[in-house]
Amino acid sequence: MLELCTISKAFLKGQPVLKDISLKVEKGEFLAVLGPSGCGKTTLLRIIAGLEYPDKGDVYINGQAMTHLPAEKRPVNTVFQNYALFPHLTVEENIAFGLKIRKIEKAQIRQKVKEMLSLVHLEGLGKRYPHELSGGQKQRVALARALINEPQLLLLDEPMAALDESLRKKMQVELKKLQRELELTFVMVTHDQEEALAMADRVLLLYNGQIEQEGKPHELYYTPKSRFAAEFIGQNNFFHFSQLAGQEYQFELGRFIFTQKLPPSFTAAIRPEKVHLSTTSVEKSYPVEIRNIIFRGANIFFTAVTHDGFEILGELPAENIQLEEGQEVYIHIREADLVIIA
Amino acid sequence: MRQSWFKYFLLMPGTLWLGLFVAFPTLLVFLTSFLSRNTYGRLLWEFQIDTYLRLFQWEEWIVILRSLKLSLEVTVVCLITGFPLAYYISRVKKSIQLFLLLLVVIPFLTSSLVRTYAWITLLQKEGLINRLLLSLGWIEEPLELLYNEAAVLLGMTYMFLPFMVLPLYAALEKLDTSLLDAARDLGAGAITVFLKIILPMSRQGILAGSLLVFVPSLGYFFIPDLLGGNRTLLMSNYIATRFSQARDWPFGATLSVLLILLTLALVYLFQKKNPKDNAHEKKV
């Protein structure tokens, strides 16, 4: 469906924004390009859309080279960040824009606009102007305006960024449902790791213009390949292990005996939800003091501090947990929960 | 209570100024237009409306129509030349924008009269342009560049271009580039983007700029005087000569009243075309 081959891009007198990016998107796939701001993800999207040309590399859509084809000639449509709705046109006129340019018959346009309005649940709002709509409604108009052209590939640039928390969650589900039902190919750019993990079939983690890691959401979450990936996706505690003798290692909490052979020195990460507590000392458990309990509905977060002042973030289901600040407990770490990074 | 009193106090200087130097003289002009004069041009307290009836004569209408036509031409030329300039300024880096806007405004630092004389030295028979063309051998006889309608159009356009560029810039600067991207993404080529997005989105600026150029160019008298010679009689210099050489104050005042009414009608039309409720021009 979409193929990028060694795309590189640098802006005038600047650092390269993208370095040798290659990727493939299958038909009907939902790919999320995830990364912090300034990682080049929006530039990548603009190159696919044809709003920007790469310095090097090629863009193929359905096997056809489109590297230097301008945006208006590509079978691709975009839902822009902040939606970029035309403020001087009504909702209907906004949605019809693409078809009008292609000189489609008026009656047919009217029919399709109607279909689109009902697809995105905006019946009856066709005569309104964008400034009379709420954030969620604007997003739907932007979606309808892009989808009416039946693009082979839909690009979404931070589609949820302008929505508030509860609406965002709802729209994530809705958008994903729409993509499944219409069997569309989506490439979405986002800085929100939760959103990427929740919506996409595959996630591409971009950092400093390079692909840091690529894989299914759970792969990225459970087996981050680099410290950046481990830090950016979800929360993590990092430990540094150095070999004492054989499989016995020293780390921030004390000593740890591994069952597998490992390099003499490495970093390992552990998710907060994998930090277990016990009131009694067991094997591979370390004394800590509980501080900063944060209640987050279903879960609570806490900070466990060792005698040396090293802090570990932990997460527990809120139910049936009697935890108090200042309490002295043991944290128990299992070898299987440690993700060895480097 | 105290606040509302203070509000009126703040309005005082402006109100006094406008009252003394705009409203009162306008009333005087209005009054004068109904007075009579003796053969030496002295005003007499005898009311008449003959000067208004004179306006219905064809010879007077020719002048009025010629004025309107020239002002329209000036506006159109300013719009065509000013739009690309304003668009360019609005798209470059902020720091360069300020510099370019400064360049647009700098001519105002010199008297407009002096700048008009500068055009004479450029355009006259022994002027810079003719001498240059002669020395290059492109022409054999000096061209008649001065004292015709084209010279007036040139001078007026030069004078009023900033009044067009500034409001256009203000409108175009607000234009979100992502809208242009969105239009292209939906299949619009450069011309369609211009006609369907840029042009309607800058409507406010076009209207404001046109008004700011059209209205004063109706009343500017020394450019047609200096660059047009006496060959192009326009409303503005027609009025000026009624007051000076012709010593016919009542008719000059009548023409002035007509000019004021024309201007007011235009401003009214502009306001109607440009209602207060333009929330959609704000950020979406």
Contact status, residue B157 vs residue B224, Cβ threshold 8 Å: no
Residue A23: which residues within 8 A CB-CB, separation 6 or more?
A2, A3, A4, A31, A204, A211, A214
What would the pLDDT profile of A221-259 be if each residue is shown by its tens digit? 988 888 899 989 888 999 999 999 888 899 998 889 888
Question: For the whole model, what pTM was predicted?
Answer: 0.80
DSSP 3-state of B57: coil
**What would the two tokens of residue A42 be?**
């929006």
What would the pLDDT profile of A310-330 be if each residue is shown by its tens digit? 999 999 888 767 788 888 999
Share of chain B above pLDDT 90, in %: 51
Give B232's pLDDT tier (boundaries 50, 70, 90).
confident
In chain B, the N- to C-terminal Cα span, in Å, equals 38
- Rounded to the nearest 10 degrees, how much is the dihedral formed by the CA atoms of A141, A143, A148, A151? 160
Q: Which of residues 304-333 of A touch B (CB under 8 A)?
A: none
Give B281's pLDDT tier (boundaries 50, 70, 90).
very low
Distance of CA A265 to the CA centre of its chain: 31
**Long-range pairs for A88-91: beta carbons < 8 A, 24 or more residues apart:** A88/B200, A88/B201, A88/B203, A88/B280, A88/B281, A89/A129, A89/A130, A90/A126, A90/A127, A90/A128, A90/A129, A91/A117, A91/A122, A91/A125, A91/A126, A91/A127, A91/A128, A91/A129, A91/A130, A91/A133, A91/A141
Give B97's pLDDT tier (boundaries 50, 70, 90).
very high
**What would the two tokens of residue B213 be?**
């150029």
Q: Which of residues 175-234 of B touch A (CB under 8 A)?
A: 176, 178-179, 181-189, 192, 196-197, 200-201, 203
Mean pLDDT for B251-258 is: 93
Using alpha carbons, select from B58, B28, B12 the residue that is nearest to residue B252.
B28
A159 part of contact set with chain B, CB < 8 Å: no
Enumerate domains of chain B plus CATH numbers.
30-283 (1.10.3720.10)
Q: What is the pLDDT of residue B284?
A: 37
What is the number of residues in chain A?
A: 342
**What would the two tokens of residue B257 be?**
């009243």
**Long-range pairs for B94-100: beta carbons < 8 A, 24 or more residues apart:** B97/B173
Give B275's pLDDT tier (boundaries 50, 70, 90).
low
DSSP B255-271: HHHHHHHHHHHHHHHHH
Q: What is the pLDDT of residue B156?
A: 93
**Cβ A72–B281 below 8 Å, yes or no?**
no
Looking at every residue in chain A, the average pLDDT score rounds to 90
- Rounded to the nearest 10 degrees, how much is the dihedral formed by the CA atoms of A102, A105, A107, A113? -10
Minimal Cβ distance to B184: which of A71, A87, A149 = A71
Mean pLDDT for A281-288 is: 86
Residue B179, CA distances (Å) to A89, A131, A174, B196 in order: 12, 15, 25, 11
- Run of H or E including A194: helix A193-199
Q: What is the pLDDT of residue B283?
A: 40
Minimal Cβ distance to B284: which of A50, A85, A102 = A85
DSSP 3-state of A76: strand
- Rounded to the nearest 10 degrees, how much is the dihedral formed by the CA atoms of A25, A27, A29, A33? 30
CA-CA distance, A255 to A243, in Å (whole number)?
10
What would the pLDDT profile of B152-179 be if each residue is shown by its tens digit? 999 999 999 999 999 999 999 999 999 9
Q: A49 to chain B: which residues are within 8 Å by CB?
A: 181, 185
Mean pLDDT for B37-44 is: 84
In chain A, the DSSP E strands lie at: 2-10, 16-25, 30-34, 56-61, 64-65, 76-79, 153-157, 186-190, 202-207, 210-215, 237-245, 248-251, 254-257, 265-270, 276-278, 285-296, 299-305, 311-317, 328-332, 339-340
Minimal Cβ distance to B179: which of A76, A86, A138 = A86
Contact status, residue B160 vs residue B217, Cβ threshold 8 Å: yes
Give A141's pLDDT tier (boundaries 50, 70, 90).
very high
Instruction: For the beta carbon of residue A231, count every other beta carbon within 10 angstroms.
Output: 14
According to DSSP, the residues that pair with A254 across neighbouring strands are A251
**Cβ A131–B185 below 8 Å, yes or no?**
no
Contact status, residue B188 vs residue A145, Cβ threshold 8 Å: no
Contact status, residue B172 vs residue B86, Cβ threshold 8 Å: yes
A81 part of contact set with chain B, CB < 8 Å: yes
Radius of gyration (Cα) for chain B, nearest Å? 23
According to DSSP, the residues that pair with A61 across neighbouring strands are A2, A64
Share of chain A above pLDDT 70, in %: 99
Instruction: For the beta carbon of residue A188, count every other beta carbon within 10 angstroms.
Output: 26
List the single residue in B with minimal CA-CA distance to A87.
B280
Given a cut of 60, is residue A297 above it in pLDDT? yes
Contact status, residue B107 vs residue B115, Cβ threshold 8 Å: yes
Q: B282 to chain A: which residues are within 8 Å by CB?
A: 87, 131
Min Cα distance A118 → chain B (Å) is 21
DSSP symbol at B23: I
Instruction: For the beta carbon of residue B95, count every other beta carbon within 10 angstroms.
Output: 8
When scoring A66, A88, A156 by the number of chain B Cβ atoms within 10 A, the one with the most, hence best to mutate, is A88
Give me the sign of the Cα torsion angle B60, B61, B64, B65.
negative
Instruction: For the beta carbon of residue B247, count every other beta carbon within 10 angstroms.
Output: 15
Q: What is the ipTM of this complex?
A: 0.82
Q: What is the pLDDT of residue A107?
A: 94
DSSP B175-202: --HHHHHHHHHTT--HHHHIIIIIHHHT
Given a cut of 60, is residue B1 above it in pLDDT? no
CA-CA distance, A117 to A109, in Å (whole number)?
12
